[in-house]
């Protein structure tokens, strides 16, 4: 997938092996430990790792906020790539308001590290701006640091 003006991108090299980063993305009990920047947390995660399979998280805030995020996987390349969207819910049912499609790409880097690319692709400039205003760069960056720390502990 190529970058467009409606994309937000996080690109890092993490000091953890690709297999550990993959596990953190694809095992619900691990995803729940890093997916939101603290003090936010994930209380529920469900994954059916196949095209059309469910990807669901419930994010909770420090003031009692609770947001369920339902979607489906579009593409899975084991150990290398995940693509998912909230445009559909399981059973290929259109969602009420599609917000983005996400792509996560992992590649081996020298020294047992992982090149990590996370791209949030939005349907409109307005959706991209909304995501930026919600704190995409800080939030996804902090969550990425939590991902790296968890992957290092595996």
**CATH value at residue 111:** 3.30.530.20
- Residue range 38-50, pLDDT digits in tens: 999 999 999 999 9
Residue 137 pLDDT > 70, yes or no? yes
Q: How many domains does the chain have?
A: 1
* Residue 98 domain flag: yes
The residue ranking higher by pLDDT, 13 or 96, is: 13
Residue 29 pLDDT > 80, yes or no? yes
Residue 1 pLDDT > 70, yes or no? no
* Residue 148 domain flag: yes
- Residue range 48-77, pLDDT digits in tens: 999 999 999 999 999 999 999 999 999 999
Categorize the per-residue pLDDT at 140 as very low, low, confident or very high, splitting at 50, 70 and 90.
Answer: confident
- The contacts of residue 57 (CB under 8 Å, 6+ apart) are 31, 35, 42, 44, 45, 68, 69
* Residue 2 domain flag: no
pTM: 0.91
Mean pLDDT rounded to a whole number for the chain: 94
Domain coverage including residue 149: 7-153
- Residue range 80-90, pLDDT digits in tens: 999 999 999 99
> What's the mean pLDDT in 90-96?
91
Residue 30 pLDDT > 80, yes or no? yes
* Residue 1 domain flag: no
Residue 2: its pLDDT value, please?
52
* Residue 77 domain flag: yes
* Residue 72 domain flag: yes
Report which of 82, 84, 122, 117 is spatially closest to residue 100, judged by C-alpha positions. Answer: 122
Q: How far is it, in rounded angstroms, from Cα 79 to Cα 86? A: 22
């Amino acid at each position: 997938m190529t970058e467009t003006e409606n994309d937000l991108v996080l690109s890092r090299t993490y000091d953890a092996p690709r297999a550990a980063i993959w596990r953190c993305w694809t095992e619900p009990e691990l995803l729940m430990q890093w997916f939101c920047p603290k003090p936010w947390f994930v209380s529920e995660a469900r994954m059916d790792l196949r095209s059309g399979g469910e990807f669901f998280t419930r994010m909770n805030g420090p003031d009692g906020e609770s947001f369920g995020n339902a979607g489906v996987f579009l593409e899975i390349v084991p150990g290398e790539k995940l693509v998912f969207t909230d445009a559909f819910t399981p059973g290929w049912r259109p969602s009420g308001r599609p917000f983005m499609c996400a792509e996560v790409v992992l590649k081996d880097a020298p020294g047992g590290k992982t090149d990590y690319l996370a791209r949030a692709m939005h349907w409109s400039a307005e959706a991209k701006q909304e995501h930026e205003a919600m704190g995409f760069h800080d939030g996804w960056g902090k969550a990425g640091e939590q991902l790296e720390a968890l992957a290092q502990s595996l």
